[in-house]
Amino acid sequence: MEGLAGVASGDARVPMSEDHDRRAAEMRLVRAAQQGDLLAFERLYRDNERKVFGLCFRLSGGPALAEELTQEVFVRAWRKLSSFRGESAFSSWLYPLTVNVALSERRSRRRRDARIVATEDPARLERTPRAPAPEAGFDLEKAIAALPPGARAVFVLHDVEGRTHEEIAAMLKLATGTSKAQLFRARRLLRQALVS
Amino acid sequence: MTCHELDERLDDWVAGALAGAEARQIESHLAGCAACRERERQLRRLLAHAAALPRSVTPPRDLWPGIAERIERGSAWSAFLASWQPLALAAAAAVVIGVAALLWNGSGPTAVRTVAMPSASPTLRSVTDTGVADPVLAAAARDYEQAAGALLEALQRRRAVLPAEDLARVEANLEVIDRALEEVRQALVKDPASPELNRMLVATHRKKVDVLRRVVRLSTAL
């Protein structure tokens, strides 16, 4: 997808003691930020920006909106920071907030911009005039971006992010069965795009 | 098993969620159906491709300056809200004390108890429009009421972006000012010619407009 400067993994496993030290250092930053220390919050931002941007990018379907959403996530995180007690990693606390911001913004934009209604059309992917290239050069990012929003959200959270249907249902306020149905729909549309 | 039935179960099959007779049926169908084998291969490739996508993506530009700016503007908003509670209450208290003092001097303690009822009365407002006898002050009160109406509409449009707790605080404080306005209006019904009450009503309107203007300006920057 155009406009991306690069990627970083950030998913590597680390030894338990190192992880403990990192969590302790993170909690010190959180406490400082809770006292109003913006520099500490910037460190938390730097540690998490790529994961948040990656998720916003795929849930929103484009880099420009993902920039706005990422900023919104961290502004809201700052406002809600007093509610973070450190029971989980800061990134885990940010995750549902990111999903919520990305999807609620999508809903409000849909209300504001009639053109976005077109992306809700489930048949859009099948009849797109610029179909993705054949499998060898298949651009999965573009195909994901072209999915209907509901199917895209579930596909990204389940098949890219590795979340369970139960977690997705809780975050998106759906029935588990609806999450499964949306995943089935997304995969079918992507398979069709794959062979077109 | 038909190709359609297999397609319906393909997700569970590749997830390894099927066993027993159902799994054997699928194996058997796949062994004899090249089209379904191809579908299975495509799905497995798709899932492998999706799982291999990087979860972390570097933003194309530094987003922090924009975040920091919004946080700092939001801090101005929070500081304003924090300062507003005592401000509004102090304004309302000053009005009530002033009204009580004027009525004590004029009509005695019974009248003070009467005006202590804060409920709004549309009937009272319709009798005197602004409730102000002096035509100059009445015109000023009307202007302030119109300005307050326009600012309230602007605030209404900002509802979706304001944090719920902030909005509740704004509304609670506006209610305090409105109760103070109502106190003065009721007192004016008893003593329409009182220059102090006339000025007090206009001053309270002005206070409401000033506060609303700051609320709208600061909330627009959020």
Burial of A177 (0-12, 13-18, 19+ CB in 10 A): exposed
Q: Across all residues in chain A, what is the average pLDDT?
A: 80
Nearest to A187 among B11, B67, B72 (CB): B11
pLDDT for the residue numbered A110: 59
pLDDT for the residue numbered A192: 87
Please report residues of B whose CB lies closer than 8 A to that of A46.
64
pLDDT for the residue numbered A115: 43
> What is the distance between the alpha carbons of residues B41 and B22, in angstroms, rounded to a whole number?
19
Residues 6 or more apart whose CB falls under 8 angstroms from that of A90 comprise A26, A30, A44, A47, A48, A84
Closest approach of B162 to chain A, Cα-based (Å): 11
SS3 B134: coil
Nearest to A38 among B59, B68, B163 (CB): B68
Domains of chain A: 17-112 (1.10.1740.10), 123-196 (1.10.10.10)
Q: Is A64 on the interface with B (CB under 8 A)?
A: no
Question: Which of B38, B36, B33 minimizes the C-alpha distance to B9?
Answer: B36
Q: How many CB atoms lie within 10 A of CB B189?
A: 16
pLDDT for the residue numbered A138: 63
pLDDT for the residue numbered B83: 67
Confidence of residue A106 (pLDDT cuts 50, 70, 90): low
pLDDT for the residue numbered B149: 85
CA geometry: angle A104, A110, A115, nearest 5 deg: 155
Predicted confidence (pLDDT) at residue A2 exceeds the cutoff of 70: no
Enclosing H/E stretch for B99: helix B64-106
Confidence of residue A107 (pLDDT cuts 50, 70, 90): low
pLDDT for the residue numbered A38: 93
- Joined tokens for residue B178: 């409105």
The neighbouring-strand residues paired with B57 are A7
Q: Consecutive sets of 10 residues in chain B, 222 residues long: mean pLDDT of each?
A: 90 88 91 92 92 92 94 75 62 64 50 34 40 74 83 80 77 84 85 83 84 78 64
What's the pTM value of the predicted model, to 2 decimals? 0.61
Closest approach of A101 to chain B, Cα-based (Å): 12
pLDDT for the residue numbered A9: 40
Question: Which of A186, A120, A163, A147 minimizes the C-alpha distance to B46?
Answer: A186
pLDDT for the residue numbered A118: 39
Residue type, A126: E
Structural domain boundaries in chain B: 3-52, 74-220
Q: Which tens digit of pLDDT belongs to each residue from A109-123?
A: 655 554 433 344 334
pLDDT for the residue numbered B58: 93
Asked if A135 and B45 come within 8 Å (Cβ–Cβ), the reply is: yes
Q: Is A55 on the interface with B (CB under 8 A)?
A: yes
> What is the distance between the alpha carbons of residues B202 and B137, in angstroms, rounded to a whole number?
7
Nearest residue of A to residue B58 by CA position? A50
Q: Which tens digit of pLDDT belongs to each residue from A30-87?
A: 999 999 999 999 999 999 999 999 999 999 988 888 999 999 999 999 989 999 988 8
Asked if A54 and B56 come within 8 Å (Cβ–Cβ), the reply is: yes
Asked if B61 and A67 come within 8 Å (Cβ–Cβ), the reply is: yes
Nearest residue of B to residue A2 by CA position? B60
pLDDT for the residue numbered A17: 77
